[in-house]
Structure 1
């Protein structure tokens, strides 16, 4: 009888042990969708430091989306191999243009969402993507343990942890937000200075040179509205490039980025692509009377030939090509793009490299916003719904390493020292000089996290000068701030926007194209346009918009 009890006891013990092992295996393999695993932060042999002994025993395949993966993936390059070796991962690039809403929507619908990536939500919000089980949340405790430098960055700002905090689980984040701790304006006005000189048009204020070659100049005084309009006309009608052809335009444009193309003209009217105060209420820019008046002025410029007639079908790449191709004399673009090595493929640097005779003039621009108002750049990193907590830990360690390790943040942008770049002088205290015709590589970083301490792009002296100019009173005083801003996500604006923005964007873009192109009478069609927007949900947006805190109160 005793022997029988012993056998039964042994069987019970084995059953408990097997059940415990099975439970552990299930927990390790469980794909946590939209929630956290309490044991996730107890990964064995995990110091969180790349290169440490036994830091990353388990290998992971991680699909990744970066801006640079649109067309510039280099298979097996040194940068990719370096990251993969350090973190014991294999990076699987997802080649989607995150600025293209249709491509992003197709990515979500087809199940091609990457494990980790910087992307726009398309017509969705981070909340709606969680609800659709496309993405998952990120526990705050994981961020604090495995991306501590990023956690400290979130701590610095009152909206840091609140920006993408889950309303269902406040201890979890819906996304990782990009930061650019920038002291300057986001946009500057650029003119072809050599064209102005050919036409005998003198800039206002004192001309100052930014580079030793004398090709980049700036002034603290911009042009008046009448002067600007006349310049656009002269650039279109008076053969500014002196080739005896009528092949130039004052400006081109591309959709739907209003602030990249039209903000100079709208800024003279006192608005940009943000909400504004009108008749004692806060309203969206595209339903304001100021916007209506702007459309009339833009239509007049188009009809007289001062605007590129192909702007309806011009995308970002073609827009850059037209300017670099000696066809366009004025444009707006980010101050970041002057002197930054990552911006060689876009204007103004693409123009200067393509047209050796070209010179540019930078002036203060109406209609821009201060980047310091909101350090978030609008880019967000999302995590695929079926990513396990175990893989999420590795992603956060990658995040911490690539954006905060002094060496990694340089090589993931500029490649291998001595092969892809050299230092102008003392390393880290001088300019990074890309080596011409060096082996191609995939820049992983993209400056999605750009802190005041680690902004490696400021190592370029020219870039630093431009930032200083943008921080000056002459430039920053013209910035137009949104009237209201939901800094702490206290309203349902994003939720409502996810429901109606796709339809509203279509209505706005269609009316804008037809209005500027002279295909409709703006006054006669305005009320019909507003009705279409209201039918699409604009009033719901305005209700939430007027619940937001005033920007002026927040930034005091």
Structure 2
């Protein structure tokens, strides 16, 4: 995929009938356009018109998120939801839980709110649907949510990721149709140290190795010691495996259809050799495996960290905290490194055109059609603006035809802009997230990170909405955790040199086989085949 992935085709501003939405297109090619709200049926004396809403009240479970930082009780304290209630005559009673672990308790209680906002990945959808706790909402989308239906029928990617193999739908989603919205974390290297030694930003593993070696051997931090290194969470820096054409789990082969378990491949073995070289030369922090944020930050504040993998917020915090300690840290984003001459990324999060986060309707909802009508408003032009920008004159203004956030968002005395926006809007709830609004909140460094990290090929990443059958899910549940544990143990041993990559590789493969890796490859291939066959 290119920097900006192909987007949704423009849905007609007025949907005259469901048939008019059913445009079969080979690829989405334009920015998603929310549609004008329409009546689901021809109004009569007994039915409200498209601009009238019968009063209704629903309950929704979710977590507070950013609104906790400014003391909100629930989302009814947010300006957009206050305005939404006025426009739709719909009152929401929020069941807010700070600890998302209470999700399991809510679902097991037998007393479930009308809708539940959660990470509804395909496995979780299938599990709770099979238990009868959430309902198939496709009939209600067809009868009461013409704008969402228009997106499903006009764009193949939305349909493929949202609609299950049997035609059912269990999620009203948050849609991220622009790759910059997904490029939330990546590699950053010390620009000041690159400048000191006249080095370019590394593009591949060898260039990165040479840069890290130069920093250490030539004392980039000037403290008289060879102590410059890479640190951070292993799950982050292990993304360097992408540059060897593999990843730490399942990915898709270059043929676009074959499931590959990366840790069994020679590509993975080559990555492990590279990692062992860095570790044995003290270029990787010996505390790398600690999974301790405080330790990683301590190394940053000692001015020792050459490269870090995280989001712009963390990287900016390191700069800010460094300045307080009289350090002048300058990061520059690195693109995901190249494999066969092009930047590649095997993270399936980058393929989430439809996010798994969204609303599922519970078995206890007495009027799903009316609830879907309310949810559908988020997919109209008016609803989209409200959720992404807030209320005009309160959180944004329009200047020469362009929306611009006001000081209430951009210059809050206590909150960064992205958090301050949570007083007025909620772009990551349901509906289509607007990349322009997202970029309008960002500083120059964050924009540079998004540009660099989104300029990558994600074709080899695993498909995030591949779904198992109940039988396959039982196999996955039985074997995947144990396989991951044994694989991780061998991987870390190969990196540190406690295990010999040359003499013990066959024993490693044999142990993966004993932990049923072939069974897992088989079910993942079958699930991928079904996903790729979906129209």
TM-superposed deviation, 1:166: 4.8
Once the two structures are superposed, the pairs formed by residues 1-20 of structure 1 within 5 Å of their partners are none
Give the SS at the match of 2:356.
strand
Structure 2 Cα separation of the partners of residues 384 and 519 of structure 1: 50
Would you say 1:363 and 2:344 are equivalent positions? no
Moved more, 104-113 or 187-196: 104-113
Give the SS at the match of 1:136.
coil
Alignment partner, residue 267 of structure 1: 242
Structure 2 Cα separation of the partners of residues 315 and 194 of structure 1: 26
Change (3 A) 1:277 1:470: closer
Deviations 1:493-543 (A, max 9, x none): 667545543333333333333433444334454444434443443212322
Moved more, 105-114 or 296-305: 105-114
Structure 2 Cα separation of the partners of residues 118 and 300 of structure 1: 41
Structure 2 Cα separation of the partners of residues 111 and 193 of structure 1: 55
Change (3 A) 1:443 1:311: farther
Change (3 A) 1:480 1:141: closer
> Structure 2: 5+ residue runs without aligned partners?
1-39, 338-343
Moved more, 224-233 or 348-357: 348-357
Alignment partner, residue 93 of structure 1: 96
Alignment partner, residue 127 of structure 1: 126
Alignment partner, residue 170 of structure 2: 174
- Which of 183, 190, 196 aligns to 1:192? It is 190
Structure 1 Cα separation of the partners of residues 213 and 398 of structure 2: 42
TM-superposed deviation, 1:188: 4.9
Deviations 1:226-282 (A, max 9, x none): 220132344556553445677653242244xxxx4222x323322235425499974
Alignment partner, residue 213 of structure 1: none
Would you say 1:306 and 2:302 are equivalent positions? no
Structure 2 Cα separation of the partners of residues 245 and 437 of structure 1: 41
8 Å CA contact retained: 2:80, 2:426: no
Deviations 1:49-104 (A, max 9, x none): 8xx65x2523233211476589887325444862684431122222245xxxx887
Structure 2 Cα separation of the partners of residues 113 and 377 of structure 1: 25
Deviations 1:85-137 (A, max 9, x none): 4431122222245xxxx887787668898732131559x4421232234x413
Would you say 1:511 and 2:490 are equivalent positions? yes
Structure 1 Cα separation of the partners of residues 425 and 170 of structure 2: 22
Structure 2 Cα separation of the partners of residues 514 and 454 of structure 1: 42
Once the two structures are superposed, the pairs formed by residues 73-112 of structure 1 within 5 Å of their partners are 74-75=72-73, 77-79=77-79, 82=82, 85-86=85-86, 87-96=90-99
8 Å CA contact retained: 1:188, 1:365: yes
Would you say 1:502 and 2:499 are equivalent positions? no
Give the SS at the match of 1:379.
strand
Deviations 1:5-28 (A, max 9, x none): xxxxxxxxxxxxxxxxxxxxxxxx
Give the SS at the match of 2:413.
coil
TM-superposed deviation, 1:193: 0.5
Once the two structures are superposed, the pairs formed by residues 137-152 of structure 1 within 5 Å of their partners are 137-152=135-150
Alignment partner, residue 358 of structure 2: 381
Structure 2 Cα separation of the partners of residues 145 and 293 of structure 1: 54
Structure 2 Cα separation of the partners of residues 522 and 104 of structure 1: 42
8 Å CA contact retained: 2:246, 2:262: yes
Structure 2 Cα separation of the partners of residues 245 and 56 of structure 1: 72
Give the SS at the match of 2:438.
helix
8 Å CA contact retained: 2:351, 2:461: no
8 Å CA contact retained: 1:236, 1:250: no
8 Å CA contact retained: 1:496, 1:541: yes
Once the two structures are superposed, the pairs formed by residues 156-171 of structure 1 within 5 Å of their partners are 156-166=154-164, 170-171=166-167
Structure 1 Cα separation of the partners of residues 461 and 78 of structure 2: 47
| Equivalences, count | 463
Structure 2 Cα separation of the partners of residues 395 and 88 of structure 1: 11
8 Å CA contact retained: 2:125, 2:170: yes
Change (3 A) 1:159 1:246: same
Change (3 A) 1:70 1:546: farther
Aligned-residue Cα RMSD (Å) equals: 4.9
TM-superposed deviation, 1:48: 9.7
TM-score, normalised by the number of residues in structure 2: 0.67
TM-superposed deviation, 1:180: 1.6
Alignment partner, residue 229 of structure 2: 249
Deviations 1:461-499 (A, max 9, x none): 85667666667xxx44xx252288597869886675455
Once the two structures are superposed, the pairs formed by residues 289-368 of structure 1 within 5 Å of their partners are 289-314=266-291, 327-333=304-310, 337=312, 346-356=313-323, 357-366=328-337, 367-368=344-345
Once the two structures are superposed, the pairs formed by residues 177-256 of structure 1 within 5 Å of their partners are 177-183=173-179, 186=183, 188-198=186-196, 200-203=197-200, 222-235=202-215, 239-242=219-222, 248-255=228-235
